[in-house]
Amino acid sequence: MLLRRLLEEEGRARLTGRSLWRQIEAERCVPGRTWQSLKQHYLAVMEPRLNEYGSLTELQRSWLRVPAPLLRRGRRRPYEREEDVAILRFFMEVPLRVRGVLGRAIWQEAERALGPGRTWQSLKERFLKSIVPNCRSYTGEDVPQSFCDELQRMLLVGDDPDRS
């Protein structure tokens, strides 16, 4: 019911505002739900799963998507495997970059190189807490096993061959 009602707007309505949701509440499209409840349910549950609605055309999906900058601050977009591989490739291009991995400058460079959508702080945390410990799971996607072994040895064990 709610999706059908939103599709009637044909992309003209602002999904992050109040007026559309108040109007839907007044129409009793989903009885017993407040406009705040409708909006929150859509943004948190339905909008992230639009691809699962097979009956929607790509145009309809575009009407129903909320651009990421308009989503409320604090809403996190999960990292995709391709982003993780792109971060690894960033370090593989110039292996000496790994030495600066605990600093700030290398991550600010990575933020510029990898494009918009992720802050340097987010990239750094993802790399240190998720990618490095699970690096072997990325081998076979243009990430050599030897690179992962060296990366883990340097960052997890703290063994840097150039320091000896």
pLDDT digits (tens, 9 = 90+) for 115-157: 878 899 999 999 999 999 998 898 886 788 888 888 888 887 6
**Domain extents in the chain:** 2-70, 81-163
pLDDT digits (tens, 9 = 90+) for 61-120: 888 887 665 555 556 788 999 999 999 999 999 878 888 888 999 999 999 998 878 899
Which whole-number Å values give the CA distances from 162 to 16, 59, 80, 89, 154, in the listed order? 53, 55, 33, 22, 10
Cα four-point dihedral sign 7, 54, 61, 67: positive
Q: Is the pTM of this model over 0.85?
A: no
Rg of the chain on CA atoms, in Å: 22
The CA angle 80-115-99, to the nearest 5 degrees, is 85
- 64: tokens are 């129903």
